[in-house]
Chains A and B, each alone.
Chain A
Amino acid sequence: MEIYRAHVLVCKGTGCTASGSENVMDAFQKEIDKRGLSKEVRVVQTGCLGLCELGPNVLIYPEGSYYCRVKAEDIPEIVEEHLVKGRIVERLLYKEHLTEERLRALTDIDFYKKQKRIALRNCGLINPEVIEEYIANDGYKALAKALTQMTPQEVIDEVKKSGLRGRGGGGFPTGNKWQFAANAKGDIKYVVCNADEGDPGAFMDRSVLEGDPHSVLEAMEIAGYAIGASEGYIYVRAEYPIAVKRLEIAINQAREHGLLGKNILGTGFNFDIFLRLGSGAFVCGEETALLASIEGRRGEPRPRPPFPANEGLWGKPTIINNVETYANIPEIILKGADWFASIGTEKSKGTKVFAVGGKINNTGLVEIPMGTTLREVIYEIGGGIPNGKKFKAVQTGGPSGGCIPAALLDMPIEYDTLVQAGSMMGSGGMIVMDEDNCMVDIAKFFLTFTQDESCGKCPPCRIGTKRMLEILERITNGEGKEGDIELLENLAKSIKASALCGLGQTAPNPVLSTIRYFRDEYEAHIKEKRCPAGACKALIHYEVVADKCRGCGLCVKVCPTGAISGERKQPHVIDQDKCIKCNSCFDRCPFGAITKA
């Protein structure tokens, strides 16, 4: 194996690929070849580094210099300055939001300082398409340990003792799940990985699959050993083409190296893993629906019990865990349950990955110890709210979760505290909203989503959420009636109590939590026919403030319907009949001369 003096890591996750990291990587390779540095400098593709918004992201080791928004044109300069002359290219370094300070190393920036990476330990560090890099960083060591030094029951006990809870939603203790499946009678058992990450705004599972696919394979093998299964299935979204490709490569490599298949590592243990692609149905994230879909049927949930641990795939005992849960397993086996349990809080152990997005400066993936406060995540790691706007709420738990207001920002993040606040952990989406977001509109957004994705099997979800959505539409259209809020609350209670699966039972949460914390906004829509945030189209109209308008004509240019007219250098006017309230003029006007009310 050759030794290089420098490694250039280029992020090839979905975010950075969309920003053009493919070109950046090619340009590096070309420039390095051209200068005859290919024996000294190695170019490596990696998975997600977390700060997708600043992509394409490039890291250069040994310095650990972190360059953002790198373009192909920048490459000759980086090679010449950094790789030839040893001078860091300051202008491309990451810039801290608050201090505007340019920081040299990835590990120095606020975004990373508070993080603790367990599930994401290899993301952005190794090349996910080279199994040797995974092995080099202690890959498959946990499997070796489990197979040779532990009994299946000891593996289960270790996972139980670690306190690990499911990272995909409800937070059920993982070790208990494994114990049920191990105890279940049956000669054939299955291990399933739920990679149908469907919560809008959550993409941590995608990042793990793209950046560290082998960790999931290794964990599934350990699970298979623990419960006595020899086959595993990964159910992954078809909308994640890069993740699918990396998984295929990883499975093939593991098979070629004898790390999947028969007699693994000479221990007599047999295990193989197969991929199944999801076809775009949110409900398939529910475990019984997911199993139906793997079996090639409509992905409709069924009542539990029997639980999958007793009757799962093809009627056999099955465990289902999500990607992030699995990604923690090798570290728990390797470093021990006590180490894992020492991180986090009393009832929520370890770390959790959050996809922080929406109105926040550093959008991206963060992995933090449980118990970190929302304020730390949003302000210290996330860098606060952009454009000097005011924080209004943070939404966690996706369509099953709720909106948490500013008053609760100092709440530590745990499974139970989030539930008490009317939200939930969910898979870890965290969307920040500012004063321009209308909370009624957000509730409507989530309900539109669940209504659309409801599988239609049980009436409370199919019909109940439809009625709730109709009421919300009425309210945002300025046709809300006295008593609508109470009606929503009533419907919500019935749906929560009677829906068949988790999707239906939690569907009312976004409505209930926004009513709980932002009732005044609902009332303003209903009683005053006013949208305080200026987001509900039916309740706002745009006007030009004549004193401020300088007649520059920029608004005329951006207006897609030709609704704005006026002489140059004279105040303009908006034709209300033609205006479609697209907000373009409001965004464009440099003088603040357009108002919405």
Chain B
Amino acid sequence: MAVIKSIEELEKIREQAKDLINLRKDNETKTRVVVGMATCGIAAGARQTMLAILDELKKRNVENVIVTETGCIGLCKFEPLVDVIKPDQPKVTYVNVNEEKARQIVVKHIINNQIIDDWVIPNI
């Protein structure tokens, strides 16, 4: 690692390092993304969905989001399922989320606050 030569460089390193410990602080105030990771979800590609979400968050330098997994919620035909829960807002559940959809959910819903109605779970 290079020598830190100025206050500005120290701040830059701090910015980059934030992700190292971000996950361990103030989790109550963050947006939660929950991926269904039961057998059916994984079989439908939930792991790739999850990795795509993590990757997109990193690329766009999004803070204050936690990504967790959950078990089967009994809607196997819609897997992979992804919930997005913003603080103080109702839960939004997306269905059949592949990698591409996952990346768009990050950009549109998580960053820009636009729910993508077409992919939300139908009223069954």
Contacts from A to B (Cβ < 8 Å): 1-7, 9, 36, 39-40, 61-64, 83-87, 125-126, 130, 132-133, 135-141, 144, 148, 256-259, 265-266
Residues of B within 8 A of A63 (CB): 27, 68
Nearest opposing residue in chain A for B22, CB measure: A136
Picked from B20, B47, B54, the residue with its CB within 8 Å of the CB of A136 is B20
Residues of A within 8 A of B13 (CB): 132, 135
Contact residues of A: prevailing secondary structure: loop
Interface residue B23 (Cβ < 8 Å from any Cβ of A)? yes
* Cβ of A66 to closest chain B Cβ, rounded Å: 13
Number of residues on chain B facing chain A (CB within 8 A): 39
Interface contact A40-B17, CB-CB below 8 Å: no
Interface contact A133-B3, CB-CB below 8 Å: no
Nearest opposing residue in chain A for B3, CB measure: A258
Picked from A85, A133, A257, A259, the residue with its CB within 8 Å of the CB of B20 is A133
Interface residue B108 (Cβ < 8 Å from any Cβ of A)? no
Interface residue B4 (Cβ < 8 Å from any Cβ of A)? yes
Given A5-B68, A135-B17, A258:B37 Cβ within 8 A: no
Contacts from B to A (Cβ < 8 Å): 1-7, 10, 13-14, 16-25, 27, 30, 32, 34, 37-38, 47, 50-51, 54-55, 57-58, 66-71
Interface contact B19-A40, CB-CB below 8 Å: no
Given A3-B58, A141-B14, A84:B37 Cβ within 8 A: yes
The 10 listed contacts between A and B (C-beta, < 8 Å) are A3-B55, A4-B23, A36-B47, A84-B69, A85-B69, A86-B34, A125-B25, A257-B1, A257-B2, A266-B5
Alpha-carbon separation in the docked complex, A138 to B21 (Å)? 11
Interface contact B10-A265, CB-CB below 8 Å: yes
Residues of B within 8 A of A137 (CB): 21, 25
Residues of B within 8 A of A62 (CB): 23-24, 27, 30, 32, 66, 68
Residues of A within 8 A of B50 (CB): 5, 40
Nearest first, the 4 closest Cβ-Cβ pairs linking A and B are: A258-B3, A136-B17, A62-B66, A5-B67
Alpha-carbon separation in the docked complex, A265 to B5 (Å)? 5
Picked from A133, A144, A265, A266, the residue with its CB within 8 Å of the CB of B21 is A133
Picked from A2, A84, A126, A135, the residue with its CB within 8 Å of the CB of B10 is A135
Interface contact A265-B66, CB-CB below 8 Å: no
Interface centre among A36, A84, A125 (most CB of B within 10 A): A84
